[in-house]
Structure 1
């Protein structure tokens, strides 16, 4: 029966609508699956099994009467513990909020519930979403489902692992420099960082208010589209997502000096095969330039670290000793940034956005690797690497400084059998367009089937 838990949201929704599968049965199977594999992977901080079953019973009654709210009706979804949930512990991955049980849902959680999603639990994360390893000093390390000795990426590591291991059909993630896309890539799943402000950030603990995004993490691109439509309040409206038969007429821009900088040779081989598949589907890959990219990416560090210190300053005065060492290093870095440097960074960012829009005229999306390195071993990061890790491991920060929609889709494995992600970055509000391109590519391959076949984490020590 566990195979049901690796089906798509799309197929599962049809089975519920056809009364072949009940929301209660599906929720119970999901809880059972979590109990089976969660001790080894540590993807959750809180499993909300009682609340989930209560939701499922209501949704089952509706389904029996023929009322289906949306394709998410009765489907178990996890929520990154950076996003508040009514009557469910919301920690931010920190002991500072270790006892906080909100009395209302974040806007995005409310919308998902209205669409019929069952909130199965709160996913583990890098403390306050400020890192890429999901080695949480308070709630434990989340492990990569392909090799438990390695990180799953972060900061939405628990969300990616829960989805990859059949403990949820999808999850809410947050993304400030790649925190949806990097763990999706490293766990072999899909994820989209929507256009800035397309999805409400109300009720989410902030990292950097001018760079933060909230988005879906799923096993397939089409499932991400289903979640995204619910997250922006399109419940009850006809989906605008269309499946493409090919990619004829699609032009994809590629800036090699950035995208291949620091890339592992094995990862590069996987990406180049993905490029060949895109071309075989009819897409044209066009070399482009991205002027001011280096200064813009440096500016992202300045902006993010300035804004995160501004939010945490009151908490630091009261609870400074409760933060992890890598966060303490970040805060010291942020305090040393002047107002002039912050303003100049925002100016450079604005200039870069306009320049990139010019470069993307006639281009449907930018492409490149999501991760340029395989994950590194758990326990090998030092605090001084905290700020640079995202830039070393992946090419995700580019889309955050732009605020453009970006996604990661699974595109193969390294020789050591670590997943690799292909990234696509679109123009503002072209979220559906890039998902349709990625979906066409994804359906032409068989990488998503590997998630169901992966058994490596079942052999992990459950201690």
Structure 2
């Protein structure tokens, strides 16, 4: 019998709505799993069993009395620990904020809770979002459930690991230069970096204001659609929030991909680990068999992405952390401190040139989307690695290798959907990402859902 903790939200919603299972039973099952597994995985910084059981009891009463709120009602939801939660510690994975208890809840979380989501706890992360390995000297390293000696990716590593291990049904993540998509890919789950401004970042600890995105993570594309339906929308308290219509995303899940034109940047075909290259070329063949047209495209401006992303991210992060870096630099993990201190050395001409490079890349993306519906590439060019002895060096190296692949959608503000691509010979998943034009999430879900039906993690 399949345990409830491994079901998707889409599957659980029907069972909850028809009263075949209760929210209380589901939460109890989830926390039983947490107690059995999380001592090894370390996905959570703070668990909230009593809070969750109270919320589940209320949800049960509401559903029994015919007050069903929709498909998130009664669903276990893990929150990345850089989203503020009223009355609950929000550390951003840092010693500096270990005693911080907000008096407000982040807009995106508030929306999910109002839709009936049940908070299981606050999830581990790379400190302040400043890395892609989810090593954390303050709260312990999060481990990849597929192999505990391997990184889960970061900075939303706790969010991805919780999904992969059955420690939450849905989770939230943030993404500044890959922090949703990298861990989703390395843990074999699904993650969406939405269009910039589509989901409010009000109440989310910033890494780099102009690049930060909040988004959903889940074990299926359908679940992402359920979450985004709730999370998306204009927030007057977020200066970057955009006023845009929110489609009924689930309506696009069964449309198939026949006739969809997918561009593959030639820059994403070089420098790949052998297993990544093999799986990616196999994926291209599968997509063609499903009816998509694959077109190689040349985007020279992609070569600007690492420079632009590194300068903008470190510069804006150093601005946010400037006083603390002067006064309490020893409280930062070494890799994060080095990353942020680099931004202090950034000068105004470098920052302006980085923004100019960003504009050039954005214009190049707009041009290529005149000819294709989506872009596609590996999420990162490397197989999911085991933790290295020198974790500072490893994080900086993985960030350097990943940025050319993950940073462009952040720089351009375009949405990107990370999906599992397959399993490498080391037994750990790797992933790829579909990149769309602004506000094309519905097409990403359409194509991602068709890809999911090929069961990419079950292929031999």
TM range (shorter): over 0.9
Query: Which of 265, 268, 272 is residue 263 of structure 1 equivalent to?
Result: 272
- Partners of 1:239 and 1:65 in 2: how far apart? 28
SS at match of 2:300: coil
Q: 1:315 aligns with which of 310, 324, 331?
A: 324
Alignment of 1:281-300 (within 5 A): 281-300=290-309
Give 1:178's aligned residue.
178
Q: Out of 332, 338, 341, which is 2:341 matched to?
A: 332
How many Å separate the matches in 2 of 1:445 and 1:21? 27
Map of 1:432 onto structure 2 = 442
1:100-140 deviation digits (Å, cap 9, x = unpaired): 11121100110000111001011101111100111101000
1:381 shift after superposition: 4.1
Q: Which residue of structure 2 lines up, in the alignment, with residue 405 of structure 1?
A: 415
**1:79-228 residue pairs with structure 2 within 5 A?**
79-228=79-228
Question: Could you list the per-position Cα deviations for residues 245-276 of structure 1 after superposition, in whole angstroms to 9, with x for gaps in the alignment?
Answer: 531110000112x2123211111111111111
**Deviations 1:212-270 (Å, cap 9, x if unpaired)?**
10111101111111111111159x995553223531110000112x2123211111111
Offset at 1:449? 10
Q: Distance between the aligned counterparts of 2:278 and 2:179, measured in 1?
A: 24
RMSD over aligned Cα, in angstroms?
Answer: 1.9
Unaligned runs of 5+ in 2: 235-245
Question: 2-side partners of 1:136 and 1:331: how far apart?
Answer: 16
Match of 2:376 among 367, 383, 407: 367
CA contact (8 A) 2:255 2:446 kept: no
Aligned equivalent of 2:243:
none
Q: What SS does the corresponding residue of 2:328 show, helix, strand or coil?
A: helix
Instruction: Establish whether residue 276 from structure 1 lines up as the match of residue 285 from structure 2.
Output: yes
1:343 aligns with 2:352: yes
1:419 aligns with 2:425: no
Q: 2: distance between equivalents of 1:385 and 1:16?
A: 44
| C-alpha displacement of 1:36 | 0.5
How far residue 335 of structure 1 moved from its aligned partner, in angstroms, is 1.1
Distance 2:290 2:330 in 1: 54
2:156–2:174 contact (8 Å) kept in structure 1? yes
Instruction: Confirm or deny: 8 A CA contact 1:404 1:426 kept in the other structure.
Output: yes
Contact 1:90 1:100 in 2 (8 A): yes
Q: Return closer, same or farther for 1:320/1:132 CA change in 2, 3 Å cut-off.
A: same
**Deviation by residue 1:297-356 (Cα, 9 ceiling, x = unmatched):** 311111000000000012223322211111221132111110111011111211210121
Q: Write out aligned runs for 1:346-357 (5 A).
A: 346-357=355-366
Q: Distance in 2 between matches of 1:243 and 1:108?
A: 23
Asked whether 1:253 is paired with 2:254, we answer: no
Unaligned runs of 5+ in 1: 451-463
Q: Distance in 2 between matches of 1:102 and 1:6?
A: 32
Measured in 1, the distance between the counterparts of 2:388 and 2:152 equals: 12
After superposition, give the CA deviation of every residue in 1:149-179 in whole Å (9 maximum; x if it has no partner).
1111001000000011111011100001100
